[in-house]
């Protein structure tokens, strides 16, 4: 069966520090991968998605970047965190969007 | 582009009462529709999905949703609310074969 792993579960980082959040999927090949952010009162915001290794699409301009170094690995990064980067980050995967996504358990990031 | 509108950002129901969460969609093609539930500090979990088969879709935890093409709606219901139903609920529509469009979410509180 397919599983998705996302870590860490919580993270507190100072302003200006780097960020690396990792997401891996098991039990499937060539998944579509997604990074979402939930900030208070702003719903689900799609940040990045990837339909293949090295293929990254950015939905909104921001202080973050994403990479997909392996088929089932998706990394969200920042060189210097801002206070506004605080939020709940969710990774998700799909084989085909017509059948929905499977979400990871999320990372609560607090930038102080 | 496909989109969904969730009517009501907060819904409060008494334990044992009907839960009704409203979702309307816009789509230029036959839509695939989804309801997800999110408990605090967790990822989103798929409740149910409509993929052009039966218009009444049954999901987990006693929830069901009815697809009404004439009303462009996909409302979520549960006959009798439990305390454990307190969560945030998201409606989503397939935007393409790799992207979903999510509504803003509805937070459900259950009164004892």
A19 pLDDT tier (thresholds 50, 70, 90): very high
CA A14 to chain centre: 20
For chain A, what is the total number of helices (H) and then of strands (E)? 0, 11
User: Residue A49 and residue B98: Cβ atoms within 8 Å?
Assistant: yes
Q: Which two tokens stand for residue A61?
A: 């301009």
CA distance B37 to A26: 23
Q: What is the DSSP letter of B62?
A: G
Please identify among residues 68-107 of chain B the ones whose CB lies closer than 8 Å to any CB of chain A: 90, 92, 94-100, 102-105
Using CB atoms, pick whichever of A43, A97, A103 lies closest to residue B43.
Answer: A103
User: Residue A98 and residue B51: Cβ atoms within 8 Å?
Assistant: yes
- Dihedral sign of CA atoms A5, A100, B23, B50 in order: negative
The sheet that has A19-26: what strands, in order across it? A3-7, A19-26, A73-78, A65-70
pLDDT at A62 (0 to 100): 78
Q: If you average pLDDT over residues B60-87, what whole number do you get?
A: 96
Q: Is the model's pLDDT at A101 over the cut of 80?
A: yes
Q: Is the model's pLDDT at A106 over the cut of 90?
A: yes
Q: How far is A79 from chain B (nearest CA, A)?
A: 25
Q: How far is B59 from chain A (nearest CA, A)?
A: 14
Closest CA to B43 of A49, A88, A80: A88
User: Residue A90 and residue B41: Cβ atoms within 8 Å?
Assistant: no
pLDDT at A100 (0 to 100): 86
Q: Is the model's pLDDT at B5 over the cut of 90?
A: yes
Phi and psi torsions of B85, nearest 5°: -85, -5
User: Residue B104 and residue A100: Cβ atoms within 8 Å?
Assistant: no
CA distance A32 to A66: 14
Q: Is the model's pLDDT at A12 over the cut of 80?
A: yes
Mean of the per-residue pLDDT values of chain A: 92
């Amino acid at each position: 069966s397919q599983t998705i792993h996302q870590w860490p579960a919580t993270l507190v980082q100072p302003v200006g520090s780097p960020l690396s959040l990792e997401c891996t999927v098991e039990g499937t090949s060539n998944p579509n991968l997604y990074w979402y952010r939930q900030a208070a009162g702003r719903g689900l915001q799609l940040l990045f998605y990837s339909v293949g290794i090295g293929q990254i699409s950015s939905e909104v301009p921001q202080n973050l970047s994403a990479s997909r170094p392996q088929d089932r690995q998706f990394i969200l990064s920042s060189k210097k965190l801002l206070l506004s980067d605080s939020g709940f980050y969710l990774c998700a995967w799909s084989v085909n969007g017509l059948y929905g996504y499977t979400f990871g358990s999320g990372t609560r990031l607090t930038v102080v | 582009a496909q989109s969904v509108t969730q009517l009501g950002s907060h819904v409060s129901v008494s334990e044992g009462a009907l839960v009704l969460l409203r979702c309307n969609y816009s789509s230029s093609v036959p839509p695939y529709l989804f309801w997800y539930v999110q408990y605090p500090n967790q990822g989103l979990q798929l409740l149910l999905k409509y993929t052009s088969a039966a218009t009444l879709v049954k999901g987990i935890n006693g929830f069901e949703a009815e697809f009404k093409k004439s009303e462009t709606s996909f409302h979520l219901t549960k006959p009798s609310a439990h305390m454990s139903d307190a969560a945030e609920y998201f409606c989503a529509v397939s935007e393409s074969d790799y992207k979903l469009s999510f509504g803003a979410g509805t937070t459900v509180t259950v009164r004892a």
